[in-house]
Amino acid sequence: MTVISETAFAKINLALHVRVRRPDGYHEIETLFAFCADGDQISVGPANELLLSITGPFGDGLPVDEGNLVLRAVLAIREHFGVKKGAQIILDKRLPIAAGLGGGSADAAAAARALNRLWELNADDAALISAIGPLGADVAVCVASQSALGKGLGDQLSVPPADMPGPGAPILLVNPLKPCPTGAVYKGWDGADRGSLAISRAGWRNDLTPSAIAQVPEIGEALYLLDDMGTASLVRMSGSGATCFALFDSLADRDEAQAEIVAHQPGWWTMSSVLR
- Average pLDDT along the chain: 96
Instruction: Assess whether pLDDT exceeds 80 at residue 1.
Output: no
Examine the domain organization and report whether 174 and 248 are in the same domain: yes
Instruction: Assess whether pLDDT exceeds 90 at residue 81.
Output: yes
pLDDT value, residue 25: 86
Which one of the listed residues 107, 138, 207, 253 is annotated catalytic? Answer: 138
Q: Note if 187 is an active site residue.
A: no
User: How many domains does one find in the chain?
Assistant: 2
Percent of the chain with pLDDT over 90: 93
The answer to whether the beta carbons of residues 100 and 180 sit under 8 Å apart is: yes
Query: Whole-angstrom Cα distance, residue 58 to residue 28?
Result: 31
Structural domain harbouring 88: 4-158
Examine the domain organization and report whether 105 and 47 are in the same domain: yes
Q: Note if 178 is an active site residue.
A: no
Percent of the chain with pLDDT over 70: 100
Query: Whole-angstrom Cα distance, residue 7 to residue 112?
Result: 11
Last residue of a domain, one of 158, 190, 225: 158
Min mean pLDDT across 57-61, 76-80, 197-201 is at 197-201
Which one of the listed residues 11, 92, 207, 253 is annotated catalytic? Answer: 11
Q: Mean pLDDT over residues 260-275, rounded?
A: 98
The CATH number given to whatever domain includes residue 182 is: 3.30.70.890
Q: Mean pLDDT over residues 55-68, rounded?
A: 96
Examine the domain organization and report whether 151 and 248 are in the same domain: no
pLDDT value, residue 67: 95
| Cα-Cα-Cα-Cα dihedral sign, residues 142, 144, 146, 148 | negative
Nearest-CA neighbor of 194 among 17, 6, 14, 13?
17
Residues with Cβ within 8 Å of residue 151, at least 6 apart in sequence: 28, 29, 30, 31, 158
What band does 179 get if pLDDT is binned at 50, 70 and 90? confident
Instruction: Assess whether pLDDT exceeds 90 at residue 198.
Output: no
Cut 0.85: pTM above it: yes
